[in-house]
Amino acid sequence: MSWKINFESIKKDTNFFAELSNEIVNLNEIISIFEAETDGGKKHTWFRLFDDHIEFLDQRFLPAKEDWIKCKDEKEVAYAIREMVVRGAPAIGISAAFGVVYGVKKKLKNKVKITPDIFSDITAELERTRPTAFNLKKALLDMEQEYQNFILNSSLDNQDELLQRLTNRAIKIWFHDFAYCYLIGKFGAELIKDGSVVFTICNTGSLATGGWGTAFSAIRFASKIGKKIEVIALETRPFLQGSRLTAWELMQNKIPFHIIVDSSSAFSISQMKAKGKDICCVAGADRILRDGTTANKIGTFTLAILSKYFDVPFYVLAPSTTIDNVSEKIPIEERNPREVREFFSVRVLPDDVPVFNFAFDITPPNLISAIVTEKGIFRYPYDFSHI
């Protein structure tokens, strides 16, 4: 099994190349950056690929410590996704794709032939981990398509070829997201004014994606092209992805920022408005419906309402793989109450206090000033029925 990316195959991927051919950056430029930043497609900020396992950077403990967790099959990858070792919609999708690869590889090592039922068991294990993120479902559908193409055109006895084809598909899913993040950043940076204050929630950088990020990529690009900006990052309870992860990435990129508690957003925006600052709010997405209805980390809806009240633009940035143009509504994950009752294993509530722990909320499209994907900048009213 080879991890090397066949870029010539990607260049012949007419659908993907057509999406990039008329854009503001060419595919060769993206490939060059990808190879330089990933050691030729072997590792990213939060994962490392090995012959018999994948290692994930445990994001639950950043920045206090950098622990890597080894996963050898789909069950262990599913655990990493479910327990928030891995988080961020694009990252979850990429992880699931590689979960399929390692699940198949382990079964082949144990002399198990990958029949349709066995393959379905592998994907089902991964699909039930996080119901809200659409990238998870999309990545698994892509892997299923690769499997179906194989059994239509090859013998099931050629299991080594199956493994290589699934590996190539997983790497392509990763590379596509890297390219999408790059383009999202370029488009998104156009919306951020020089000298502005940028509010953001959760973590949308390289730790959450296969590339530079979504909303964070726009921040990074704006800084890269010389715009003087300051970021205000919400701490993002209860996992503190803002104060732990976004702060970590902002420091690495030397971008000025402050962390605020989630409940101070309204006052903080009002203070910046009083100082005459240009302000915008940027967020990622875990699922976007065809009309622009968006699910993202809990607290995003609040930030969107505040943006409307203060006449501040509110932008959602996400790859097209996040768009679900079939579903009518979005399932919202409710997580373990323990995540609210405890703070890094320290009990902060009285025993048996009832807790609602919604992981996401839903922002209606009329509160979103623009949605940015790798395909460009879209304005309200939205229609993603053909994406």
Residue type (1 letter), 256: P
Q: Are 197 and 278 in contact (CB under 8 A)?
A: yes
Q: Which position has the token pair 């005459």?
A: 276
Tell me the catalytic residues.
286
Contact 382, 291 (CB under 8 A): yes
